[in-house]
Structure 1
Amino acid sequence: MRIRPVATVVAGVLMGLSALVLSPAAAQAAPHGRTPETVAHRGASSYAPENTLASIDAAARLGFDWVENDVQRTKDGELVILHDNSLARTTNVKKVFPDRSPWSVSDFTLKEIEKLDAGSWFGPKFAGERVPTLEDYMDEVEDNDQSLLMELKSPELYPGIELQTLRELRRAGWLDRDHVKNRLIIQSFNADAIKTVHELRPDLKTGFLGNPSVADLPKFAKYCDQINPVHTAVTPQYVAAVHALKGPHRRPLDLYTWTVDDAATAVKVADLGVDGIITNKPDVVRAALERRDKDG
Structure 2
Amino acid sequence: MHARVVAATTTAVLGTAALLLPAPHARAGAERPTVIAHRGASAYAPENTLAGVDKAAELGISWVENDVQRTKDGELVVLHDDNLKRTTDVEQVFPSRAPWKVKDFTAAEIARLDAGSWFGPAYAGARVPTLAQFMDRVDLHHQKLLLEIKNPDLYPGIEQQTLKALDNDGWLDVPHLGRLIVQSFSADSVRTVHELKPAVKTGFLGTPPVADLSWYATFADQINPSYTSISTGYVDSVQAFEGPHGRPLEVFTWTVSDADTARLVAGYGVDGIITNSPDVVRDALPEE
Same fold (TM over 0.5): yes
Correspondence for 2:141 among 141, 144, 148: 144
Correspondence for 1:127 among 104, 124, 128: 124
Runs of 4+ in 1 over 6 A off after TM superposition: none
Deviations 1:174-209 (A, max 9, x none): 1101211x1000000000000000000000100000
Change in Cα spacing, 1:31 to 1:109, as seen in structure 2 (3 Å) is farther
Correspondence for 2:68 among 60, 68, 71: 71
Correspondence for 2:39 among 42, 66, 69: 42
Give the corresponding residue for 1:81: 78
d(CA) in 2 for partners of 1:90 and 1:32?
Answer: 42
d(CA) in 2 for partners of 1:139 and 1:95?
Answer: 30
Q: Shift of the alpha carbon at 1:279?
A: 0.1
Give the corresponding residue for 2:106: 109
Question: Residue 254 of structure 1: SS of its match in structure 2?
Answer: coil
d(CA) in 1 for partners of 2:149 and 2:49?
Answer: 16
Q: Which residue identity lines up with residue 107 of structure 1 in the other structure?
A: D
Q: Shift of the alpha carbon at 1:28?
A: 8.2
Q: How does 1:259-278 map to 2 (within 5 A)?
A: 259-278=255-274
Question: Residue 251 of structure 2: SS of its match in structure 1?
Answer: strand
Correspondence for 2:229 among 220, 233, 236: 233
Q: Shift of the alpha carbon at 1:236?
A: 1.1
Change in Cα spacing, 1:128 to 1:28, as seen in structure 2 (3 Å) is closer
Instruction: Mark the structure with the bigger radius of gyration.
Output: 1
Give identity over the alignment, percent. 62
d(CA) in 2 for partners of 1:188 and 1:30?
Answer: 29
Give the corresponding residue for 2:181: 185
Q: Which residue identity lines up with residue 134 of structure 2 in the other structure?
A: Y
Q: How does 1:10-21 map to 2 (within 5 A)?
A: none
Length, aligned pairs only: 266
Q: Which residue identity lines up with residue 266 of structure 1 in the other structure?
A: A
Q: Shift of the alpha carbon at 1:118?
A: 0.3
d(CA) in 1 for partners of 2:175 and 2:86?
Answer: 36
Alignment of 1:212 onto 2:208: yes
Question: Residue 186 of structure 1: SS of its match in structure 2?
Answer: strand
Correspondence for 1:154 among 135, 151, 154: 151
Question: Residue 57 of structure 1: SS of its match in structure 2?
Answer: helix
Deviations 1:39-65 (A, max 9, x none): 000000000000000000000000000
Q: Shift of the alpha carbon at 1:32?
A: 6.0
Correspondence for 2:89 among 87, 92, 98: 92
Q: Which residue identity lines up with residue 240 of structure 1 in the other structure?
A: D
Question: Residue 72 of structure 1: SS of its match in structure 2?
Answer: strand
d(CA) in 2 for partners of 1:178 and 1:186?
Answer: 17
d(CA) in 1 for partners of 2:221 and 2:75?
Answer: 28
Give the corresponding residue for 2:167: 170
**Structure 1: 5+ residue runs without aligned partners?**
1-26
Alignment of 1:196 onto 2:192: yes
Q: Which residue identity lines up with residue 237 of structure 2 in the other structure?
A: A
Q: Shift of the alpha carbon at 1:234?
A: 1.3
d(CA) in 2 for partners of 1:186 and 1:154?
Answer: 14
d(CA) in 1 for partners of 2:149 and 2:202?
Answer: 11
TM-score calculated relative to the size of structure 2: 0.90
Give the corresponding residue for 2:17: none
Q: Shift of the alpha carbon at 1:29?
A: 7.3
Q: Which residue identity lines up with residue 63 of structure 2 in the other structure?
A: W
Contact 1:31 1:273 in 2 (8 A): no
d(CA) in 1 for partners of 2:156 and 2:25?
Answer: 43
Q: Shift of the alpha carbon at 1:293?
A: 3.8
Q: Shift of the alpha carbon at 1:30?
A: 3.3
Correspondence for 2:58 among 58, 61, 71: 61
CA-atom RMSD in angstroms: 1.5
Contact 1:28 1:236 in 2 (8 A): no
Q: Which residue identity lines up with residue 204 of structure 1 in the other structure?
A: V
d(CA) in 1 for partners of 2:193 and 2:31?
Answer: 29
Q: Shift of the alpha carbon at 1:258?
A: 0.1
Q: Which residue identity lines up with residue 92 of structure 2 in the other structure?
A: K
Alignment of 1:283 onto 2:279: yes
